[in-house]
């Protein structure tokens, strides 16, 4: 039984020794691999890979910075265009105010023309009334003169010889003179009426011109208002597009920075995990080596004790 136990112990010892040898060889291989990974081209390849990734990230960052610069230039151009639109709006506002002033002046002139037209109409009516009154007076005077001439002619017929100073020829000359004076007065009144009618026509023409100027100024004002509304809408659209582009660029920059930070953090975590695994494997190998060395030492002491026990009875 003791020999069988010894044979079993020897087999176990051989197995443990073989395992220790295998683990030592594997430890050496792992150590060589660690050293090779530290100084071999594989580590250089990882480093090159990381450097390439960093280079790519830097290029992407430069590209984003260039896009940011182009966006800023576009923003500045849009700001200049908005300023131009504002200046144009101000000019159009000034033109609109000037058109309003001209419209108010034309309205004042129109009111004055209307008042002048009303006054001219009243004056024409008054002159017509005066002319009618003068005509009536003249007709009455003419009728009175005719009656006087008729009565005078009847009285002359009763006399056989009339004095020279009261001949009918002189009465007829007097009537002719009165008719000529009346015709001259009528002609003067007619000329005055024609002048008043001409001034009335001129006032009407001025009134129509003022109305046409007012309509043109109103059309121009409506056109300016339409242009102003279109420019305001264009300004709002430009401001909205500028704000939208600014927000999109800001969101893309923030997203790119977040992605770059996440990639770097993931890479750092993966490197830490690899280093932790290597350290853990090395620590496990050290613990296994220590346990195997302890087992070998115990087996050696057992073998030495067994050999001394066997040698003592033999002696």
Domain assignment of residue 106, yes or no = yes
* Overall pTM > 0.75: no
Domain assignment of residue 11, yes or no = no
Domain assignment of residue 315, yes or no = no
Domain assignment of residue 216, yes or no = yes
Contact criterion met (CB below 8 Å) for 236 and 66: no
Domain assignment of residue 254, yes or no = yes
Q: How many domains does the chain have?
A: 1
More confident site: 174 or 314: 174
Distance CA 176, CA 196 (A): 30
pLDDT, tens digit, 9 for 90 and up, residues 127-178:
778 778 877 877 787 777 777 777 766 655 554 444 444 444 455 676 677 7
Average pLDDT over residues 200-219: 79
Average pLDDT over residues 225-246: 84
Distance CA 197, CA 210 (A): 19
Listed in sequence order, the residues at least 6 apart from 235 whose beta carbon sits closer than 8 Å to its beta carbon are 82, 85, 86, 89
Model confidence at 315: pLDDT above 80:
no
Residues spanned by the domain of 86: 40-156+177-310
Domain assignment of residue 30, yes or no = no
Domain assignment of residue 12, yes or no = no
More confident site: 120 or 158: 120
Q: What value does the CA radius of gyration of the chain take, rounded to a whole number of Å?
A: 65
Task: Look over the chain and give the mean of its residue pLDDT values, rounded to a whole number.
Answer: 79
Distance CA 207, CA 113 (A): 6
Domain assignment of residue 244, yes or no = yes
What pLDDT is attached to residue 159?
A: 45
């Amino acid at each position: 039984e003791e020999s069988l136990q010894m044979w079993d112990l020897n087999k176990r010892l051989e197995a443990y020794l073989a395992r220790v040898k295998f683990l030592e060889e594997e430890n050496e291989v792992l150590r060589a691999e660690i050293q090779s990974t530290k100084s071999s081209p594989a580590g250089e390849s990882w480093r090159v890979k990381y450097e390439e990734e960093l280079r790519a990230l830097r290029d992407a960052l430069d590209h984003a910075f260039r896009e940011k610069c182009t966006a800023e230039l576009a923003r500045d151009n849009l700001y200049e265009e908005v300023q131009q639109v504002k200046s144009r709006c101000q000019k159009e506002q000034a033109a609109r105010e000037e058109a309003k002033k001209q419209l108010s002046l034309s309205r004042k002139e129109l009111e004055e023309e209307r008042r002048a037209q009303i006054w001219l109409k009243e004056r024409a009516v008054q002159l017509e009334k005066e002319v009618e009154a003068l005509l009536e007076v003249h007709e009455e005077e003419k009728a009175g003169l005719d009656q006087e001439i008729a009565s005078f002619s009847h009285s002359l017929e009763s006399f056989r010889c009339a004095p020279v100073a009261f001949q009918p020829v002189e009465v007829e000359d007097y009537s002719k003179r009165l008719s000529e004076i009346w015709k001259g007065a009528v002609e003067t009144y007619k000329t005055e009426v024609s002048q008043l009618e001409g001034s009335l026509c001129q006032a009407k023409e001025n009134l129509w011109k003022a109305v046409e100027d007012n309509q043109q100024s109103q059309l121009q004002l409506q056109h300016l208002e339409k242009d102003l509304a279109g420019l305001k809408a264009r300004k709002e659209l430009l401001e909205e597009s500028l704000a939208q582009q600014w927000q999109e660029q800001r969101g893309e920059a923030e997203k790119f920075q977040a992605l770059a930070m996440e990639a770097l953090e993931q890479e750092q975590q993966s490197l830490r995990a690899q280093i932790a695994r290597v350290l853990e494997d090395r620590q496990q190998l050290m613990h296994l080596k220590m346990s195997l060395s302890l087992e070998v030492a115990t087996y050696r002491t057992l073998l030495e004790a067994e050999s001394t026990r066997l040698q003592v009875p033999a002696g």
